A and B are shown apart, each in its own frame.
Chain A
Amino acid sequence: MECITLALAKGRTAKGAIAILKRAGFHFADFHEKSRKLVFYDTKKQIKLIFVKAVDVPTYVDKGAADIGIAGKDNIMEAQVDLYELLDLKLGKCKFAVAGLPDQKIDHTTVLTVASKYPNVAEHYFEQKGITVDTIKLNGSVELAPLIGMADVIVDIVETGNTINENGLTIIEDMEPISTRLIVNKASFATKTKEIQQIIKKLESVLE
């Protein structure tokens, strides 16, 4: 059997994903949270696990550097890559939402300025609604943008809504639910079908 390379997002969903993999029979003995190692093999050497930054997971899989990846739907959507998305691991559930000051309206009359860590997602969303927007790419503290007048609204992931509320913003529209997904490179799927389907089947059986 050929070894399959799996790119896993570092951070909050990693632990959950490792637990699911373990239940499916892929045990990463030398993994522990504080480890600085970036490459791990499961005990049966079926999976080579590489830890990468969450936003980079779709890129690794798209380029074929990893055969499969586990990443949040938010990053998959933002990357706009042509991949298979075969499983929902149902971890890290949250949603994309449009938020702004309470009196902010979203309509066709003006050009809306949108700040987001996810400019592609934001642009695509408003394009579908037929609303012209100016997007500003930010890397953090997005909630600040409407407060200081740099943007009218923000597009961001929302879990509890606390950060939004504490900064005096409200959710204007819910966009799309987000959770952790399993993505697969199309060439890998075509050339290592058996190995990949086996991994998916095992994961599926523990997810039900």
Chain B
Amino acid sequence: MQTYIFDKTNDTDIAFYQIRERLITLLRSRFTTYGYKQIQTPTFEPYDLYTTVNGTIKLDEMIKVIDNSGKVLVMRPDVTIPITQQIASKYKHLSKEIRYFYVTDVFRQTPDESNNKERTQAGIEYFGNNSPEADAEVLSLAVHLLKDLHLTNFTLEIGHAGFTKELISELALSDQDLKQFKQLIQAKNTNGIKLFLADLSIDPKLRYAIENIPLLYGEADDVIKRAKEIAYNDSMVNKLQNLEEVCTVIQAYGCKQHIVIDLGLINHMDYYSDIIFQGFTENVGKPILMGGRYDKLATQFNASIPAIGFACDIEALLDSTKNHTKSYQPPIDVDIYYETDEQEYGLTIANELREQNYRVLTFPIPEANKHESAQCTLYLTRNNSTLYQQNKSWSFTDIEKLNQILQEVKERI
């Protein structure tokens, strides 16, 4: 028989799945406490939606399918774009705030070796407010989430897509050079940047500013102060001002110790227009959370709606919590073994206990040895009804008495 290799996300390990579900529940309830409501986007979306939006997902990375009319569809490669498109189609301008969250699978075929085509993302999108307070609230929600996971050492790096883009655009590079140059910035490769700029005849002030981008990393006050010294024009100063305001509110949230500024941060998603951020924790090489403000995305759908959002990668979060998640404690469970004559009695008890959220399995007595033992075992014979738990046993006469005993047992476990 042929053996099949599955994507790693198809994990049938029960303990792992329980941990994963608990993590998702945790995220869901945290999103809710910040006023977000859950939504879902379609699994199949028109391919055209993604070909018309600039600078987002690589077309090669999307998984395409063809429906019976010959139309090309893609399997949800992103969540932000369809939500923005939907909101933009309903409102040209938004007069109220909208807060959505989602927990959903996204499908992409990336060239990395893991070859995982399906990943679960949990994230939020916050439309209709572009104040520094909104930015800071979203960032503090991100910090709050990571605290919920009991991560001890984590950092949120905040950059400003607008600031960095504007500085680089002063160089007026060709698309190909720009791609290469962005890579140098992302790698904080100061030598490479110097070499790259050496061939260009540019204003020495600009050269100095750009060579300094990789060094703009660290505590907010210090970095913003240094960035202001190299700011090239008023618009860049304004952007730093905005960043400063956001940082002030973050401080009021009490999240300052988890925040660093990294003005060399570049997100491959081109739609980010202002602050961008990513979260890192020890021992996971990749960002566990990514997001930013994308005020310009709606303009691609002929609307003007400010928005900010982020998403966590559930698999990466699971990696990060792997070491400190305690093994899952299931609710107390009960096995009921009954003699054939006591079947009705046994099944009635089973239903009664299930109503009270006990986990119950039932077996006729000859089957007794097939199951690994539960926390509590009931033996129902014609003369006797007994509950066993570890080395102790209790006889009982009716369901009410049984309930009492189980309550006591529960308190001891």
Enumerate chain A interface residues (CB-CB to B < 8 A).
61-64, 82-88, 128, 185-188, 190-193
Contact = CB atoms under 8 A, between A and B. Distances in A.
B282 A191 contact: yes
Contacts of B280: 186-187, 190-191
B186 interface: yes
Nearest to B156: A190
Interface centre among B218, B260, B281, B283 (most CB of A within 10 A): B283
A64 B188 contact: no
Interface of A is mostly: mixed
Nearest to A82: B186
Given A128-B176, A186-B287, A193-B260, A85 B282 contact: no
Interface string B351-369: 0000000000000000000
Interface of B: 153-155, 157, 176, 186-192, 217-218, 260, 280-287
Contacts of A82: 186
B267 to A, nearest CB: 12
24 contacts: A62-B285, A64-B283, A64-B285, A82-B186, A84-B187, A84-B189, A85-B188, A85-B189, A86-B188, A87-B191, A186-B280, A186-B285, A187-B280, A187-B281, A187-B283, A187-B284, A187-B287, A188-B282, A190-B155, A190-B157, A190-B260, A191-B154, A193-B155, A193-B218
A88 B184 CA distance: 13
Query: Which 3 residue pairs across A and B have the least CB separation, nearest first?
Result: A64-B285, A190-B280, A187-B280
Contacts of B155: 190-191, 193
A88 B186 CA distance: 16
A88 B282 contact: no
A128 B175 CA distance: 11
Given A64-B283, A187-B286, 4 more contacts: A61-B285, A85-B188, A185-B285, A188-B282
B258 to A, nearest CB: 10
A192 B153 CA distance: 9
A71 B189 CA distance: 14
Contacts of B260: 190, 193
A8 B192 CA distance: 21
Contacts of B186: 82
B260 to A, nearest CB: 7
A85 B187 contact: yes
B170 to A, nearest CB: 23
Given A62-B285, A64-B283, A191 B188 contact: no
B285 A187 contact: yes
Interface centre among A85, A185, A188 (most CB of B within 10 A): A85
A191 B153 contact: yes
B187 A83 contact: yes
Nearest to A61: B285
A110 B159 CA distance: 45
Contacts of A187: 280-287
Nearest to B262: A190
Contacts of A62: 285
A64 B316 CA distance: 13
A88 B189 CA distance: 9
Contacts of A86: 188-190
A148 B369 CA distance: 70
B269 to A, nearest CB: 14
A19 to B, nearest CB: 20
A191 B260 CA distance: 10
Nearest to B177: A128
Contacts of A88: 191
A193 B186 CA distance: 17
Contacts of A190: 155, 157, 260, 280
A85 B190 CA distance: 8
Nearest to A177: B195
A76 to B, nearest CB: 9
Contacts of B218: 193
A122 B154 CA distance: 38
A140 B269 CA distance: 39
B180 to A, nearest CB: 8
B188 A84 contact: yes
B285 A63 contact: yes
A62 B284 CA distance: 9
Contacts of A191: 153-155, 280-282
A86 B286 CA distance: 18
A62 B260 CA distance: 21
A207 to B, nearest CB: 11
Contacts of B153: 191
Nearest to A192: B282
A88 B192 CA distance: 9
A2 to B, nearest CB: 9
B244 to A, nearest CB: 21
Nearest to A59: B113
Contacts of A84: 187-189
A186 B267 CA distance: 14
Contacts of B154: 191
